[in-house]
Structure 1
Amino acid sequence: MNKLANEILEPILFEAFHNQEGDTHNTELLTIHPRITAILYRRAYRDVTINSLKQLELFSQNVPTELLSKVRSLNINLSPTAGSVWGAVGDALVKCRNVEHLKIRAMGLWEEDRRGLVEGLAAIDPISFEWTSPDPPHHISLSLVTPCLTILLHQLPKWSRLEQLSLSHVQFPQCSQPDRFLPVILSPTLKSIRLGQAIKAPANMLAGIASACPRLETFDTEDIYSESIWGSRVDEKDVRNELEEAYYYGAFTISSRLQRIVGGDRGVVY
């Protein structure tokens, strides 16, 4: 088998490397022969999931740079009790600069050093990007706080191939005029946005996002609040009126998933 050309050998090894469910690897194959090890390492590090801050640090510090450059899909899941994580996240992203699909589940803090986040986002050019909370789905929390959101929105116009953006547990700033907060062009390439559990996101903020993405085709929203989580959800009619004035004619949806026990617009379902 070792005499086979890579074009023939790789599909055989890749199929043997993955189990039937596709979520674990037959790592014994890595010890058979140096050539087989080299081929499988490239596949093993193509799709990576990190589930702790310690694991993230070991990953970026100990894995050879050549293999880190092979990463195409990176899922970073960090506990809400991990504290400030952006130094480790930034180090990993700088080394995984060829990543195409990035998912971050981490808690942004108001008081923390965010230089790693700035450097990490500046080092990559993803096709899809997701940021959500590490808390359980039924929890009401904020992970993408305003300072982190500002950094992300500053970087979005610089990504040249972003097509899908998914953000949840978001805190927008208190801003009556979105054009003072949003870039004129938020993304020149973005086709799909999903925004969930966002506060301080009135109708004109949503319309501002849509109008700042000239290629946007779909805009899906869920549990969007004009002010706090205890206030009313943004009104669908108001959003559609604002979108029309902003000359956005793509698909738009708004829905409710979480229901509060009392207060606000409990029971209102779009």
Structure 2
Amino acid sequence: MDERDMLARRFEEQRPRLTAVAYRMLGSAVEAEDAVQEAWLRLARSDADVVENLAGWLTTVVGRVCLDMLRSRTSRREASLDEQPAEPARTAPAETPESQALLTDSIGLALLVVLQTLDPAERLAFVLHDMFAVPFEEIAPIVERTPAAARQLASRARRRVQGGTPQHPDVVRQRRIVDAFLSAARQGDFDALVSILDPDVIIRSDGRFVRQGAATVARGATVFGPMAAVGIPILVDGRVGVVASMHGREYRILLFRFAGDRVAEFEVVSDQNRINAMELSTLD
């Protein structure tokens, strides 16, 4: 086995971890693979003999590549959740809803969506430190900050991800209602749905009126049924909502307004500009 084959073998040993880092940063299976491939190209062009810690070196390279990709998204004003990545120059497997769902399941949909709302530097500091135990001394050069500043980035991201404060009793109540709603919708239980909905409940889609009335809304469960089947509770602007991935990287948010222990109104939001403006954090 020559030196290049040995280097390739060592790189392949690191690929699963590097792909996990890149996916959490980018939220795209194809883009994550592109970032990992770029790390291999840089390694192949470098003097690998002087690299003492290959895993750390590769993690740093992947982090920088992902940071550049995220900043490029921002400068182009592209939506980071539902955009379709450019076709890579090399041959790569297509990003299918199935492949994306498998990776999403490995991290959790709610966490992935919240990560996508973070500033690129915050996201990198949080992902590398909190998920992969990379020291802030190694993160600092990537984000061009001091270790103390990198620590602050991760701390801000952590507060966003976790919601910052213990759950308020009202949030617990909302979560109970939303869980009951999701369960009834998934089972197609008409009576259970009607019991959870306010008699004058309204459903909207991106601000447009769809229908009104508990029985009418429950019978029209096809509007929210697909979301309920894959939906995950999430905190949206301090209130319990639902996030769902419908087609691989297409995310939707279900917002609720409550009246007592019933749902008085809910809205399916697919407009990415509105989603980007929401303050999202995980539950549980």
Give the TM interval when normalised to the shorter protein.
under 0.3
Q: Which has the higher contact order (CA 8 A, sep 6+)?
A: 2
Report the TM-score, using the length of structure 1 for normalisation.
0.24
Larger helix share, 1 or 2? 2
